[in-house]
Structure formats: structure tokens, C-alpha cells
Structure 1
Amino acid sequence: MKRALVVLLLFAATAVLAQDKNPVTSVVREILPRQQKNLVAAVEEMPADKFAYKPTEQQMTFGHLVLHIVQSNNYLCSKIGDLPEVKAAVPLKETDGKDKLVEALKASFDFCTTALNKVDDSKLSDEVELFGGHKGARAFALIALTNDWADHYSSAAMYLRLSGLLPPTAQPKK
């Protein structure tokens, strides 16, 4: 009985996914809230006095990592949604306080939500200007964005663990 129910649910899920005319952009929109939640929680977990911490001399500070995430979100999402890139009146710095960096991180994810709501799969082959003036498909920016979220979270998790803290996804369920 359970096996039949599982098979039926798999067929139903497949049918629902097959009806989605934008499977790629829909999946990224589905991924965004989880990545946003985890990245923001990781940054909020780090004490303010640790934002200048860097594991080795060659690595960036935690504050620089947060700044990089904000800039990456704003740049890539502007390309994905064909929107002007968000630029602060006063440029954000890695030495800005925790509250300011967290606020900018949250705003960058809000911008990504807006940008992702403006794109559908039919636009993924459109040519956009990417890093260093190189041209590429909008799909490149979309895939780079999801890769960046995973990479940035793993970096933030490493900084937290090296500071004796558990990253959000490793914390016991409350």
C-alpha cells in the first residue's frame, strides 16, 4: 500500500513539474528563501567583534565576505532581472558595523527576489554583459548566483566553526 502511494505521489509531482513553463527559474526562486535564511542567519550568528576575523593572513575578513555576498547578489541579480545594479549612496565597506552589513545583505536578497520575479526561462539565452565586460547568456548569471550562495554559505560556516560557533544548518532543531 505504501509503495503504491509513493508511486502515485511521484507521478503527481512529475505531472505538476511538467506543467511548469519555467522549470529553471522556478527552481531558483524556490531555492532563494532557504539560501537567504541560512546566509542571513550565519551572518547574524557571528558576533560583531569577529567581523574583522580572518583565518589566515591570505584570507578575507568575515566582514569582507559579507560585503562580497552583497555585491555578488546585487551584480548577478541585476543581470538576471535586467535591472540597474543597486548602488548605495555611500559605498558599503567591509569595516562597516555588523548591523549595516546585515541590513545590506537582507536588502540584496530582497533585490534578488524582485529580479527573479522578472525573469522566465524564455530569457535565459539572452546575452548579458558579465564580469570584466565579457558577454554571456543570462543563464550563466543564474547558475553563478546559485553556486555563489552555496559557496558563500560554506565559507561563512567555516568562519563560524573556526570561531567556536555552529552554523545555522548544524544547530539542533528548536
Structure 2
Amino acid sequence: MKKLSTLFFALCLLCVTHVGNAQAIKKADLVNAWSKMTNMFLTTTRDMPAEHFSFQPTKDIAPFGDLVGHTIGANYLFGPTVNGPKVERPEFDAANKKEVVENMEKSFKYIADAIDQLSDDNLNDEIEWFGSKMTRLKAILSMTDHVEREYGKVITYARLKGVKPAGGRGW
């Protein structure tokens, strides 16, 4: 029993030491991750043929263009979290590939520009996030989580239409 207690204590000490030395996420990490996510999302969206922007797997699921349009709107909704100016979601025809891709490019650049204006210290700012207070970093991580989930849906639509999705990693 004494050996087990000593082992447990040693493991706890190792964990505490490791957590204390954990590397913090920096602005440069966010810039890199957002760039990779942007590339994956835009590449796959651009590769989807124009005739499939109205593709709807079932009547209960949004068409491809609307799915991408949701991410465009979310980028503008989440922008002030990053410290971007408030911008309304633009109007566009979600079945029109050219309009969707142009607006997607603008929405991802909007977030990239906002991230670029931050400092490492700004990531620790406490902000309001949908009724909760949290650090700006935590809210940005929630935003990137949303984009990654939406990209997972884009991958599914693309594969259903024989389009190979862009590979890569978020972080």
C-alpha cells in the first residue's frame, strides 16, 4: 500500500509539473491554425462543382451552398469576439458558386485580419461570449471549433458528390 501511495504521489507531482510547464497558445499559433482551416475550407468549397451548390442530401438537410453560407454568417457573427468590427452577414445567392466562394473568402479574411490585430496579451482579455464571461482565447477556440465542425459537414457533402476534400490539420 505504501508503494502504491508513493507511486500515486509521484504521478501527481509529475502531472502538476507538466501542467506548470505547458506551452500557452500564442497569437502566432492562432494565425497559423486559422490559415490552415481557411485553406481546407476554401479549397474544398472551390472544388465542389457549381451544379452541386444546390445539392441537398435529404429534404431535412440544408443544401451545400446554404451550409457554407452558415459558416460565412457565423464568421461575421463571431468576428467581434476576435476584436473585429461588427459586420452584417452579406446577402448572396447560396446556389451560386461564384457568390458563395467570394463571400467565403471575405469572411475568412475578416477573421484573419482581426486575429492579426491582436497581441498575445489580448488573448487573456475577459469578454462577453453569448451571455458568459470568458477569455478571448477561449471564445476564439470555440469559434474555431465551430468552423472545424462545419468543415466536417462540407467534407461529407463533397464526398457524396465524388469531390476529394482538402487535407490538413487545424493546429
Q: CA RMSD in A?
A: 2.3
Moved more, 119-128 or 151-160: 119-128
Moved more, 106-115 or 145-154: 145-154
- Give unmatched runs, 5+ long, in structure 1: 1-17
Using the size of structure 2 for normalisation, the TM-score is 0.74
For the pair shown, which has the larger CA radius of gyration, 1 or 2? 2
**Moved runs in structure 1, 4+ residues, more than 6 A?**
none
1:1-174 to 2 correspondences below 5 Å? 23-81=25-83, 83-87=84-88, 91-95=91-95, 97-131=96-130, 134-137=131-134, 138-169=136-167
Moved more, 157-166 or 122-131: 122-131
Contact (CA 8 Å) 1:42, 1:168: kept in 2 or not?
yes
Equivalent residue letter for 1:163: K
Q: Distance in 1 between matches of 2:116 and 2:71?
A: 20
For residues 17-67 of structure 1, give each alpha carbon's deviation from its aligned partner in whole angstroms, at most 9, with x where no partner exists.
x9x9x7332211111111111111111111111111122222111111111
Other-structure match for 1:12: none
Contact (CA 8 Å) 2:75, 2:107: kept in 1 or not?
yes
Structure 1 residues 86 and 93: alpha-carbon distance in aligned structure 2, compared to 1, 3 A threshold: farther
Q: SS where residue 58 of structure 2 aligns? A: coil
Contact (CA 8 Å) 2:123, 2:137: kept in 1 or not?
yes
Contact (CA 8 Å) 1:127, 1:135: kept in 2 or not?
no
Q: SS where residue 23 of structure 1 aligns? A: coil
Contact (CA 8 Å) 1:80, 1:116: kept in 2 or not?
yes
Moved more, 32-41 or 69-78: 69-78
- Give unmatched runs, 5+ long, in structure 2: 1-20
Q: Distance in 1 between matches of 2:62 and 2:27?
A: 32
Equivalent residue letter for 1:86: V
Quote the offset at 1:91 in angstroms.
Answer: 2.3
User: Percent identity between the aligned chains?
Assistant: 24
